[in-house]
């Protein structure tokens, strides 16, 4: 999200003069493009974060309300984690976003791709940046339950006591299991309860042990095909397909990141407490009301924004289960908004950015991405014009910005008669353009007085 800077010069400065040209160092009022207001019955309205995504160079705007200092700090720290990962691990922006969304949503992530695609390095670096208690293990078909979860205490057994020395998997917040789909039946059953209930059952006594697991990350070279593995695969709400770097430019950037010192010393820039703060906040977003979208609760906006889109995808063979649509995907959307900023624009973008993570196979992901790209059509052009108008306002080119905004507002919604699932997105873009134009005109009129 871009922020628009509407300058308010001191001493009657001319509106066409840039702040750097003003010897009086004119004040600049940061007015964020989107200011979504929220309210909850009987509760204090959650504050809307307005900072743009990490790496865009956009600084946090003045919030429409007062954000709790701990929430604001937690969000900034997680964006620093994202920035650090992208500087060290080149070409895997989608995987990095997926892991952060998974953490904030408290959902599990699986990375699928050939060996040597930074899967293990990515997860271990993430854990170190968060100073998280983490556990990792490479599974094979011969890996025993005791190797992963802990062995029976032989000394205690000689005294007639049954005791298991549980491994670090019990107290770890992030668990990474490489080649997870090679797990045998004993480990498979334990993993199902660990991922679903965050409880591990002793296979001999049935005693349950509560785990500290926040998010599990699995890795595999291929998609599981065995029927008995589908239940485990289904526990991962986010599926990321990674591959080798495919352009010379990315390879050169990766070489630079590796050998110019990036990541030589990995220091924590956030904590799991920051993750928990963001998770708690994300869960309040779902039941908040969006005034700019007819004062609807976000979960209603989510339904309106996705139902038609998913019906069209179903015609192409992509089916989202009820559990995914009702329970998992809304949590992912809320986590995405907590990280990216709760704006009308981001609310509409979230499903388009997240749906590829639900694909079961790499070919299905390709189909989803292609469908979303093709379906946007003129909507993509509207979005491009909106972003360009924001840039022009920040560059003080108000006439160009007004022309772009007026072009957006002249869009004929009847063109979407056969693509009804795109109407909410188009309406959101038009609403943003109308709001920006109104506020820009009000500010310019104030200067002319």
Strands 296-297 and 289-290, sheet pairing: antiparallel
Total count of domains within the chain: 1
In a domain, 18, yes or no: yes
Cα maximum dimension of the chain: 92
Gyration radius of the chain's alpha carbons:
25
Q: What is the pLDDT of residue 69?
A: 65
Q: Which of 101-110, 124-133, 183-192 shows the lowest mean pLDDT across its residues?
A: 183-192
Average pLDDT over the chain, rounded to whole?
82
pTM: 0.77
Across 292-298, average pLDDT: 74
pLDDT digits (tens, 9 = 90+) for 64-97: 334 566 899 999 999 999 999 999 999 999 999 9
CA distance readout (Å), 243 to 180, 336, 356: 18, 23, 15
Closest CA to 164 of 223, 205, 107, 214: 205
In a domain, 178, yes or no: no
pLDDT of 420 higher than 80: no
Domain that holds residue 386: 3-32+378-448
Confidence of residue 16 (pLDDT cuts 50, 70, 90): very low
Do 350 and 336 contact (CB within 8 A), yes or no? yes
pLDDT of 54 higher than 50: no
In a domain, 426, yes or no: yes
In a domain, 78, yes or no: no
Read off φ and ψ for residue 307, nearest 5 degrees.
-60, -50
In a domain, 24, yes or no: yes
CA distance 84 to 130: 11
In a domain, 79, yes or no: no
Exposure class string for 61-77: b at 16+ Cβ within 10 A, else e: beebeebeeebbebbbb
Within a 10 A sphere around the Cβ of 34, how many other Cβ atoms?
A: 24
Q: What is the pLDDT of residue 25?
A: 28
Q: What is the pLDDT of residue 267?
A: 92
Q: What is the pLDDT of residue 31?
A: 31
- Which ranges in 130-167 belong to alpha helices (H)? 145-149, 154-158
In a domain, 382, yes or no: yes
In a domain, 85, yes or no: no
Do 92 and 118 contact (CB within 8 A), yes or no? yes
Q: What is the pLDDT of residue 62?
A: 28
Q: What is the pLDDT of residue 262?
A: 59
CA distance 329 to 356: 12
35 or 395, greater pLDDT:
395
HSE (side-chain half, CA atoms, 13 Å) at 423: 13
């Amino acid at each position: 999200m871009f922020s628009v800077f509407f300058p308010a010069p001191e001493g009657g400065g001319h509106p066409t003069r840039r702040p750097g040209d003003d010897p009086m160092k004119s004040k600049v009022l940061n007015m964020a493009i989107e200011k979504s207001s929220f309210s909850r019955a009987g509760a204090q309205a959650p504050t809307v974060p307005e900072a743009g995504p990490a790496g865009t160079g956009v600084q946090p705007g003045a919030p429409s309300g007062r954000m709790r200092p701990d929430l604001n700090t937690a969000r900034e720290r997680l964006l620093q984690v994202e920035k650090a990962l992208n500087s060290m691990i080149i070409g895997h922006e989608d995987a990095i976003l997926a892991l952060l969304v998974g953490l904030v949503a408290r959902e599990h992530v699986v990375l699928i791709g050939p060996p040597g695609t930074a899967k293990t390095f990515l997860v271990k670096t993430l854990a170190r940046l968060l100073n998280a208690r983490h556990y990792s293990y490479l599974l094979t078909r011969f890996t025993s339950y005791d190797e992963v979860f802990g062995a029976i205490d032989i000394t205690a057994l000689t005294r007639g006591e049954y005791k298991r020395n549980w491994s670090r998997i019990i107290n770890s917040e992030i668990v990474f299991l490489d080649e997870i789909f090679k797990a045998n039946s004993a480990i498979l059953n334990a993993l199902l309860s660990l991922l679903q209930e965050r409880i591990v059952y002793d296979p001999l006594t049935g005693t349950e042990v509560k785990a500290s697991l926040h998010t599990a990350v699995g890795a595999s070279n291929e998609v599981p095909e065995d029927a008995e593995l589908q239940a485990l695969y289904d526990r991962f709400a986010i599926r990321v397909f990674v591959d080798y770097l495919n352009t010379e430019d990315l390879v050169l950037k990766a070489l630079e990141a590796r050998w110019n010192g990036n990541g030589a010393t990995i220091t924590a820039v956030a904590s799991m407490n920051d993750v928990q703060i963001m998770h708690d906040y994300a869960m309040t977003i779902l039941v908040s009301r969006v005034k700019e979208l007819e004062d609807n609760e976000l979960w209603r906006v989510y339904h309106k924004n996705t139902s038609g889109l998913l019906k069209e995808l179903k015609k192409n063979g992509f089916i989202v289960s009820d559990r995914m649509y009702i329970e998992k995907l809304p949590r992912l959307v809320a986590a995405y908004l907590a990280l990216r900023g709760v704006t009308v624009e981001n609310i509409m973008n979230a499903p388009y950015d997240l749906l590829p993570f639900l694909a079961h196979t790499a070919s299905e992901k390709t189909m989803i991405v292609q469908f979303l790209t093709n379906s946007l059509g003129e909507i993509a052009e509207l979005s491009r014009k909106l972003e360009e108008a924001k840039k022009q306002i920040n560059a003080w080119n108000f006439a160009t910005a007004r022309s772009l905004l007026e072009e957006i507002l002249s869009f004929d919604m009847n063109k979407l008669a056969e693509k009804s699932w795109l109407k909410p997105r188009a309406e959101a873009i038009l609403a943003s353009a109308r709001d920006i134009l109104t506020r820009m005109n009000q500010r310019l009129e104030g200067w002319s007085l």
